[in-house]
């Protein structure tokens, strides 16, 4: 099995919902399309209050903002008004929200924060004490990608699988439920969504264990469980929960339920108020490799699919599978935008998604019928999507049936969870796009006997251990995609591999945070760069804008961590403990001073010439590192900032120091998990591998992966 990811990486995951608050309205009254409290174009005092209550802004997830106080003539007056420093140990790639002038976000181990925008004052925090509950799930480290406000409460999920509701005003707990099974491999990293008095949440876990995906709804006021929908069928001998499971089971072979099947809804769920439906974007298989998961083939419903459910009952309505028989981690868990588009002279209710696989899909959301799909990025696995059958035309060799294959995109995808935006005014979708291939191979795996590890670790069934970052691979762009003509209207290069999400305003400004720290505004029609602001810290989190007391604000969270840090490893110099991690609030004529950043020049690698390298240990260490450490410490031990670069760590030189951290949990409180299954030989092997990687980089006179080449 193998995937070499360039610069890297491996899988990923992510979830949640929206409304808009106007003075005197509750969130439940105000669903998409959102309305500003004033006419576009009015000055400051007009846009009195405009909230951003959920990751997609409104139910339609368009991230289209009818605020025009900031316009192309005054962009250069935008300045900092307040900031709030986050723990340097925090995982913080997370989508903030803003309600009534307060910015809320979850950072670190799902710790909820409420910060007053105008002053940067911390109003309260709520710490769900994930370390106490998470056990081995501490190893996932994705943190929570977003939260949701509705009707006075904030909802979010935790790494150990809980869903909580607290009062927005005080942070007082209203209810908490465990949404996963005891000791399973499910965890929650994505934002919940709230609709019709219900809150819905999915989970991740298909990359790290035998997991069967589901979504569950709860009563938004009480936390009482309402309905649950499984995204893949269980063991037929136990009976099926519903007709959809019986239908899906016909597309699986072997004893798939023993491996879980996957299909987790780790990020995308969209509520459609027009049709009273919930759409799910489902994830990859558990494991990724279909030969293992479903020997003999099959489409394996509902992996990598968009599934429409009745919002009241959770009953199945239709599905569209973007990757039948998925075997690459090409999940369809990316955000789904709802809109009405004029196509061939007809107004169609559509759903738009750019899943990992590199195509942009437009579906009729009443029927699930494919309207169109075209590649928006470099795609080598398929020639196209057959518009009659809706199925991809796969290129031979793509299923690594002939041995190793290098494919575009790789498991990070051509678009990941950092959300795109849609402007009904320009008719364009503004998407952070990624160009990063991956190697896939399973020749070294015994597919007949392969089983997931009993520990939380990468369990893809595809070899990813030869991952070696290369400067030749990895780039990105901001694409303005026309969903009707299925062509790019414009495309502008962006730095590195992964950048932040976007939003677009009614006065035709597209905003995006970049991983180089620039917050940029572009002309929505031409892509022309109009303005940029250097925040001094990587902007991977999706930016938002909102209004309070007549002022328009921007909230940005900086810090490069999580799976996206893996993708940028070797391209950026952000280091785990030094990079600025903070909330920044900008507004017109903001006069605050940007706090000094301590970011140095990247890690100083340690050669340790007296340490004698043993080739067999290096090889064994490479495997262990790939399964257990890479997703935080980076591919080939080159950190992207989620955790320290171990090639520069003096701890790795000390046998006992290394053991006290890796096995005994000396840094657990700061997010370094415990690996007590590792014995002395394993630890030794990892130390050899790390030293080997450090020396290789030093030999090539490079500090970061961006410049590393094979000797
Ligand atoms: C969930 C993410 C995560 C995973 C997985 C992980 N680590 Fe860490 N690790 C961290 C974080 C975060 C820190 C830094 C904590 C701090 O700042 O003190 C850290 C710190 C360390 C340190 C201390 C470095 C120093 O110089 O202080 C060592 C050694 C280490 N990890 C080894 C490992 C090894 C070996 C593995 C795999 C077996 C591993 N880690 C897997 C997140 C992770």
Identify the pLDDT of residue 467: 53
Identify the pLDDT of residue 473: 85
Distance 643 CA to ligand 1 centre (A): 6
Identify the pLDDT of residue 464: 65
| Ligand 1 neighbourhood includes 90 CB (under 6 angstroms) | no
Higher pLDDT, 180 or 561: 180
Task: Name the band, by pLDDT with cuts 50, 70 and 90, for residue 466.
Answer: low
Q: Tell the residue nearest (CA) to atom 40 of ligand 1.
A: 629
Q: Tell the residue nearest (CA) to atom 20 of ligand 1.
A: 672
Per-residue pLDDT at 324 exceeds 60: yes
Average confidence (pLDDT) over 336-354: 98
Cα angle value 281/294/361 (rounded, 5°): 30
pLDDT in tens, 17-51: 233 333 222 232 232 323 333 333 333 345 589 99
Q: Tell the residue nearest (CA) to atom 37 of ligand 1.
A: 629
Which architecture characterizes domain 615-707 according to CATH? Answer: Orthogonal Bundle (1.10)
Identify the pLDDT of residue 599: 67
Identify the pLDDT of residue 26: 29
Task: Tell me what percent of the residues of the chain surpass a pLDDT of 90.
Answer: 83
Instruction: Report how far residue 560's alpha carbon sits from residue 539's, in angstroms, rounded to the nearest whole number.
Output: 7
In sign, the C-alpha dihedral spanning 316, 319, 325, 326 is negative
Q: Tell the residue nearest (CA) to atom 41 of ligand 1.
A: 629
Identify the pLDDT of residue 596: 84
Weakest mean pLDDT among 158-172, 326-340, 596-610 = 596-610
* Catalytic (active-site) positions: 329
pLDDT in tens, 221-240: 999 999 999 999 999 999 99
Coil, helix or strand at residue 134: helix
- Looking from the CA of residue 671, the nearest atom of ligand 1 is 12
Higher pLDDT, 476 or 32: 476
Per-residue pLDDT at 572 exceeds 70: yes
Distance 674 CA to ligand 1 centre (A): 9
Instruction: Report how far residue 653's alpha carbon sits from residue 310's, in angstroms, rounded to the nearest whole number.
Output: 57
Q: What are the residue ranges of helices labelled H in 139-271?
A: 243-249
Phi/psi class of residue 258: alpha, beta or left (left: φ > 0; alpha: ψ in -120 to 50)? alpha
- Looking from the CA of residue 140, the nearest atom of ligand 1 is 1
Task: Name the band, by pLDDT with cuts 50, 70 and 90, for residue 88.
Answer: confident
Task: Name the band, by pLDDT with cuts 50, 70 and 90, for residue 557.
Answer: very high
CATH of 64-588, one of 2.30.140.10, 3.40.50.1110, 2.140.10.10, 3.40.50.150: 2.140.10.10
Task: Tell me what percent of the residues of the chain surpass a pLDDT of 70.
Answer: 90
Q: What is the 3-state secondary structure (H, E, C) of 137-160?
A: HHHCCCCCCECEEECCEEEEECCC
| Ligand 1 neighbourhood includes 5 CB (under 6 angstroms) | no
| Ligand 1 neighbourhood includes 633 CB (under 6 angstroms) | yes
Average confidence (pLDDT) over 365-378: 98
- Looking from the CA of residue 141, the nearest atom of ligand 1 is 1
CB 468 within 8 A of CB 447: no
Per-residue pLDDT at 523 exceeds 60: yes
Of 107, 632, 690, which is best to mutate to test ligand 1, by the most ligand atoms within 8 angstroms of its C-beta? 632
Average confidence (pLDDT) over 190-217: 97
DSSP 8-state code for residue 156: E
Instruction: Report how far residue 144's alpha carbon sits from residue 14's, in angstroms, rounded to the nearest whole number.
Output: 8
Distance 670 CA to ligand 1 centre (A): 9
Of 131, 654, 667, which is best to mutate to test ligand 1, by the most ligand atoms within 8 angstroms of its C-beta? 667
On the question of a cis peptide bond just before residue 302, with omega within 30 degrees of 0, the verdict is: yes
Distance 539 CA to ligand 1 centre (A): 23
Instruction: Report how far residue 119's alpha carbon sits from residue 137's, in angstroms, rounded to the nearest whole number.
Output: 36
Identify the pLDDT of residue 28: 28
Instruction: Report how far residue 323's alpha carbon sits from residue 393's, in angstroms, rounded to the nearest whole number.
Output: 10
Average confidence (pLDDT) over 547-552: 94
Average confidence (pLDDT) over 535-553: 96
Identify the pLDDT of residue 141: 83
Strand-pair partners of 243:
none
Identify the pLDDT of residue 469: 57
Distance 640 CA to ligand 1 centre (A): 13
Per-residue pLDDT at 9 exceeds 60: no
Average confidence (pLDDT) over 542-549: 96
Identify the pLDDT of residue 286: 97
Per-residue pLDDT at 497 exceeds 90: yes
Structural tokens at position 629? 């450490």
Instruction: Report how far residue 366's alpha carbon sits from residue 381's, in angstroms, rounded to the nearest whole number.
Output: 29
Indicate the domain borders of the chain.
64-588, 615-707
Task: Name the band, by pLDDT with cuts 50, 70 and 90, for residue 465.
Answer: low
Task: Name the band, by pLDDT with cuts 50, 70 and 90, for residue 13.
Answer: very low
CB 305 within 8 A of CB 232: no
Per-residue pLDDT at 118 exceeds 60: yes
Q: Tell the residue nearest (CA) to atom 16 of ligand 1.
A: 670
Strand order through the sheet with 214-219? 193-195, 198-201, 214-219, 225-230
Identify the pLDDT of residue 91: 82
- Residue-averaged pLDDT of the chain: 90
| Ligand 1 neighbourhood includes 667 CB (under 6 angstroms) | yes
| Ligand 1 neighbourhood includes 105 CB (under 6 angstroms) | no
Instruction: Report how far residue 268's alpha carbon sits from residue 191's, in angstroms, rounded to the nearest whole number.
Output: 9
pLDDT in tens, 672-681: 999 999 999 9
Pairing of strands 502-505, 261-262: unpaired
Pairing of strands 64-65, 502-505: parallel
CB 356 within 8 A of CB 434: no
């Amino acid at each position: 099995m193998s995937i070499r990811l360039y610069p890297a990486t491996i899988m990923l995951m992510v979830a949640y919902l929206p409304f808009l608050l106007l003075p005197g309205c509750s969130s439940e009254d105000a669903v998409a399309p959102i309305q500003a409290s004033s006419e576009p174009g009015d000055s400051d005092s007009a846009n009195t209050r405009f909230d951003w209550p959920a990751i997609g802004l409104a139910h339609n997830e368009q991230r289209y903002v009818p605020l025009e106080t900031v316009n192309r003539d005054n962009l250069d007056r935008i300045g900092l008004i307040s900031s709030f420093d986050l723990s340097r140990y925090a995982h913080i790639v997370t989508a903030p929200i803003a309600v009534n002038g307060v910015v809320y976000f979850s950072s670190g181990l799902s710790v909820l924060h409420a910060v007053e925008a105008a002053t940067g004052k911390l109003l309260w925090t709520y710490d769900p004490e994930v370390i106490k509950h998470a056990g081995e799930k501490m190893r996932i480290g994705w943190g929570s990608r977003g939260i949701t406000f509705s009707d006075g409460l904030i909802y979010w999920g935790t790494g150990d699988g809980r869903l909580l509701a607290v009062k927005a005003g005080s942070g007082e707990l209203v209810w908490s439920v465990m949404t996963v099974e005891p000791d399973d491999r499910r965890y929650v990293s994505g934002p919940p969504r709230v609709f019709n008095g219900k809150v819905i949440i999915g989970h991740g876990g298909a990359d790290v264990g035998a997991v069967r995906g589901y979504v569950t709804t709860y009563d938004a006021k009480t936390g009482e469980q309402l309905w649950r929908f499984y995204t893949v069928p269980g063991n037929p001998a136990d009976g099926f929960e519903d007709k959809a499971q019986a239908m899906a089971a016909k597309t699986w072979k072997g004893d798939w339920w023993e491996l879980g099947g996957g299909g987790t809804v780790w990020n995308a769920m969209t509520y459609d108020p027009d049709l009273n439906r919930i759409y799910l974007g489902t994830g990859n298989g558990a494991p990724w490799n279909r030969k293992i998961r479903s020997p003999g083939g099959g489409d394996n419903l509902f992996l990598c699919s968009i599934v429409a459910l009745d919002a009241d009952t959770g009953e199945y309505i239709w599905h569209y599978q973007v990757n039948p028989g998925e075997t690459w981690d090409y999940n369809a868990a990316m955000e789904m935008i709802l809109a009405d588009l004029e196509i061939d002279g007809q107004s169609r209710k559509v759903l738009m998604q750019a899943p990992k696989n590199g195509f942009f899909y437009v579906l009729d959301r009443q029927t699930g019928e494919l309207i169109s799909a075209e590649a928006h990025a470099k795609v080598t696995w398929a020639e196209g999507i057959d518009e009659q059958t809706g199925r991809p035309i796969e290129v031979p060799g793509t299923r690594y049936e002939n041995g190793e294959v290098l494919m575009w995109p790789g498991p990070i995808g051509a678009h990941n969870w950092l959300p795109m935006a849609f402007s009904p005014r320009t008719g364009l979708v503004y998407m952070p796009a990624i160009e990063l291939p991956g190697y896939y191979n399973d020749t070294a795996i015994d597919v007949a006997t392969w089983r997931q590890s009993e520990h939380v670790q990468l369990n893809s069934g595809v070899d990813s251990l030869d991952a070696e970052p290369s400067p030749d691979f990895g780039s990105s762009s901001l694409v303005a995609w026309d969903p009707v003509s299925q062509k790019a209207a414009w495309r502008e290069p962006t730095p590195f591999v992964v950048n932040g999400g976007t939003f677009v305003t009614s006065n035709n400004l597209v905003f995006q945070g970049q991983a180089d720290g620039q917050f940029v505004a572009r002309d929505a029609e031409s892509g022309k760069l109009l303005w940029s602001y250097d925040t001094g810290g990587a902007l991977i989190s999706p930016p938002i804008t909102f209004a309070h007391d007549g002022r328009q604000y921007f909230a940005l969270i900086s810090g490069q961590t999580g799976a996206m840090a893996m993708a940028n490893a070797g391209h950026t110099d952000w280091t785990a403990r030094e990079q600025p991690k903070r909330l920044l609030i900008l507004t017109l004529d903001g006069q605050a001073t940007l706090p000094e950043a301590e970011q140095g020049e990247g890690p100083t690698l340690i050669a340790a010439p007296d340490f004698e390298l043993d080739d067999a240990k290096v090889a064994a260490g490479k495997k262990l590192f790939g399964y257990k450490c890479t997703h935080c410490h980076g591919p080939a031990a080159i950190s992207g900032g989620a955790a320290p670069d171990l090639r520069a760590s003096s701890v790795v030189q000390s046998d006992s120091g290394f053991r006290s951290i890796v096995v005994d949990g000396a840094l657990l409180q700061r997010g370094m998990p415990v690996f007590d299954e590792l014995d002395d030989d394993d630890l030794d092997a990892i130390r050899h591998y790390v030293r080997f990687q450090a020396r290789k980089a030093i030999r090539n006179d490079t500090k970061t992966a961006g410049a590393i080449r094979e000797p």
